[in-house]
């Protein structure tokens, strides 16, 4: 049973560039959440996608956008990269039918390490 | 902002029980307590969750105080592979909130 997979594992970009990160959810899952984790900090929620729509968004600027495809996979796009965007980007998947329940367990991928120079 | 308070670090001897505390004095009646851990260079991993009763699974036990203002995660026989950052999170999936709010967690170091 494949877990959550993210690609690429590492990425180096320069300021002002754009980046796209990809996530395939755990088999059977239809909801994808994205988190940003700066060094030494806990993950911070960016947004969640369900039924190909953004359902909730954290405190991140519009430079951060996403998409969910019919096969439930998802992309995170970041435009006009800043040095402060350097972080580990984590994707988590869960079952949509549990979104409003206590047992909304999210399964995380290993993340994409983005370095902005 | 995280609604929980955890010590930044703890040590434990291999084979002994690791007891990780968490304060959540502002927890609401319908919020659950979740624990995740993050081993270096990996994504967070779900451990256990509970509302007000003590819970146990194959990984750990969760003890929640009667007033629900604090809890303790217990790893009964810690191994070196349990060295990780442990996050305590309060969460209620009702309404339109689906996000997990992580704090800085507790770095548990299991020593040989």
Residue B42 has pLDDT above 70, yes or no: yes
CB contact under 8 A, A44 and B45: no
Beta strands in B1-112, from DSSP E residues, in sequence order: 9-13, 18-23, 32-38, 45-50, 55-56, 61-64, 70-75, 84-91, 106-111
Q: How far apart are CA A47 and CA B98, in angstroms?
A: 9
C-alpha to C-alpha distance for A1 and B33, rounded to whole angstroms: 28
Q: How far is A77 from chain B (nearest CA, A)?
A: 19
For B105, which residue in chain A has the nearest alpha carbon? A42
pLDDT(B94) > 70: no
The pLDDT value given to residue B92 = 79
**Does B41 have pLDDT greater than 70?**
yes
Residue A31: per-residue pLDDT: 92
CB–CB of B93 and A105 under 8 A?
Answer: no
Six-digit token string for B112:
């040989």
A53 contacts chain B (CB < 8 A): no
Who among A40, A43, A102 is closest to B49 (CB)? Answer: A102
Which residues does B contribute to its contact with A (CB < 8 Å)? 2, 32, 41-46, 49, 51, 87, 91-105
Q: Which of B43, B47, B55 to mutate to test the interface with A (most CBs of A within 10 A)?
A: B43
Chain B hits for A108, Cβ within 8 Å: 43-45
Note whether A105 contacts B32, CB cutoff 8 Å.
Answer: no
In tens digits, what is the pLDDT along chain A, a chain of 117 residues? 679 999 999 999 999 999 999 999 999 999 999 999 999 899 999 999 999 999 999 999 999 999 999 999 999 999 999 999 999 999 999 987 666 666 678 999 999 999 999
Region of poorest pLDDT, from A8-12, B1-5, B71-75: B1-5
Average pLDDT, chain B: 92
Q: Which chain A residue is nearest to residue B49, measuring alpha carbons?
A: A103
Q: How far apart are CA B49 and CA B33, in angstroms?
A: 5
Looking at residues B24-35, what average pLDDT do you find?
90
Q: How far is B49 from chain A (nearest CA, A)?
A: 8
Return the pLDDT at A98: 66
What is the model's pLDDT at position B63? 97
Q: Is B2's pLDDT higher than 90?
A: no
Position B108 scores a pLDDT of 98
């Amino acid at each position: 049973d494949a877990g959550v997979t993210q690609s690429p594992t590492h990425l180096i970009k320069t300021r002002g560039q754009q980046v796209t990160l990809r996530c395939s959810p755990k088999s059977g899952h239809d909801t994808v959440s994205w988190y940003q984790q700066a060094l030494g900090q806990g993950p911070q929620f960016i947004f969640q996608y369900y039924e190909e729509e953004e359902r909730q968004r954290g405190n991140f600027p519009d430079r951060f956008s996403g998409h969910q495809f019919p096969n439930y996979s998802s992309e995170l796009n970041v435009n006009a990269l800043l040095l402060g965007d350097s972080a580990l980007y984590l994707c988590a998947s869960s079952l949509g039918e549990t979104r409003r329940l206590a047992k909304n367990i999210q399964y995380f991928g290993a993340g994409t390490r983005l370095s902005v120079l | 902002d995280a609604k929980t308070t955890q010590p930044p670090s703890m040590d434990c001897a291999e084979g002994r029980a690791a007891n990780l505390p968490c304060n959540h004095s502002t927890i609401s009646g319908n919020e659950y307590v979740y624990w995740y851990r993050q081993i270096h260079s990996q994504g967070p991993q779900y451990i256990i969750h509970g509302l007000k009763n003590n819970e146990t699974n194959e990984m750990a036990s969760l003890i929640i105080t009667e007033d629900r203002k604090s809890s303790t995660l217990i790893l009964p026989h810690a191994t070196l592979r349990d060295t990780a950052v442990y996050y305590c999170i309060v969460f209620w999936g009702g309404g339109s909130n689906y996000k997990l709010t992580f704090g800085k967690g507790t770095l548990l170091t299991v020593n040989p």
